[in-house]
Amino acid sequence: MADTTEATDLTDQAANPPSARPGPEVLVIAAHPQIEHSRINRRLMRAAAGSAATVEVRDLYALYPDYLIDTEAEQALLESARLVVWQHPIHWYSMPPLMKLWVDEVLAFGWAYGPGGNALRGKDLWLVATTGGPEESYHPDSYNRYVFDAFLPPYEQTAALCGMRFLPPLLLHGAHRASETEVAAHVGVYTHRLASHPNWPELDELLYGLACAVPEDARPDDSEST
Ligand SMILES: Cc1cc2nc3c(=O)[nH]c(=O)nc-3n(C[C@H](O)[C@H](O)[C@H](O)COP(=O)(O)O)c2cc1C
């Protein structure tokens, strides 16, 4: 039977608010709408939380069951982080709804992108995702029709617009049928990577994307819109 207590005991986030702690170097933004039914993401979240003192896990569905995201608290944590991780199951070829709301509200114009929006510049963004479909289903001849990389441009461009480097994603396909050995190895790779960032062998060769400067006049100012 699923253990429903695991979702909220990653850290005592309510009793120890972000402002009372030194900022994390690695910030894991994790979102799973039904964590009590999760086989993989629950384990990944727990392992991440215990991987290193420099890592903080934000379990969005536990923190914001009412979908009222504390944008300032999220932005304050992001400012200290060098690596931002988005960890979630793939839902409809994309991210779960609360994760999308987090992106909508936290990555604000003038803060994350656009004029004066430099808060995330130079940081790394790493997608850690699971799929129900096995790897071979992500193929033109199979039911998911596209290779999985075809679903990544919105993530990659979000990173680029914010001046972040999009790291090669860590994916576990066929999550329901992965063997215990595969799952344990996957969790091991995840925690090792979290604890060793930025000392990953391939990072030296990964360049930051082209600068995506949004022009000053991309949005009408308030006086024009009234
Ligand atoms: C609403 C919903 C949409 C889903 N969409 C996809 C999808 O687009 N592609 C896919 O491969 N799996 C999809 N799945 C399966 C999940 O990705 C899979 O259950 C999850 O990655 C397993 O991780 P977990 O054990 O942590 O729950 C979907 C599942 C749900 C509930």
Written in H, E and C, the secondary structure of 125-155 is EEEEEECCCCHHHCCCCCCCCCCHHHHCHHH
Considering only 17-21, 63-67, 171-175, 197-201, which range has the smallest mean pLDDT?
A: 17-21
- CA 199 – ligand 1 centroid, Å: 31
Could you tell me if the CB of 139 is within 6 A of ligand 1?
no
Q: Is the CB of 131 under 6 A from ligand 1?
A: yes
The overall pTM is greater than 0.75: yes
- Alpha-carbon dihedral sign for residues 21, 27, 32, 38: negative
Looking at every residue in the chain, the average pLDDT score rounds to 90
Question: Does 158 contact ligand 1 (Cβ within 6 A)?
Answer: no
For the chain, what are the domain ranges? 23-225
- Which ligand 1 atom sits nearest the alpha carbon of residue 133? 11
pLDDT of residue 11: 46
Alpha carbon distance 212, 103 (integer Å) = 18
Residue 3: the pLDDT is: 41
Higher pLDDT, 64 or 11: 64
Cα dihedral: 197, 127, 131, 93 (round 10) = -170
pLDDT(85) > 90: yes
Check residue 212 and give its pLDDT: 85
Fold classification of 23-225 (topology level): Rossmann fold (3.40.50)
Instruction: State whether the beta carbon of 41 lies less than 6 angstroms from ligand 1.
Output: yes
Looking at residue 1, its pLDDT comes to: 36
Contact 58, 30 (CB under 8 A): yes
> Does position 74 have pLDDT exceeding 80, yes or no?
yes
Lowest mean pLDDT among 98-102, 155-159, 206-210: 206-210
For ligand 1, whether the C-beta of 46 sits within 6 Å is no
**Phi then psi dihedrals of residue 199, to 5 deg:** -85, 60
Task: Say how many Å lie between the CA of residue 95 and the centre of ligand 1.
Answer: 10
Mean per-residue pLDDT, 53-74: 97
Task: Give the per-residue pLDDT at 142.
Answer: 98
Q: Where residue 6 falls among pLDDT bands split at 50, 70, 90? A: very low
pLDDT at 2 over 50: no
What's the gap in Å between 151 CA and the centre of ligand 1?
14
Q: Mutate which of 90, 98, 100, 127 to test ligand 1's pocket (most atoms within 8 Å of Cβ)?
A: 90
- pLDDT single digits (tens) 8-48: 345 444 444 544 556 899 999 999 999 999 999 999 999 99
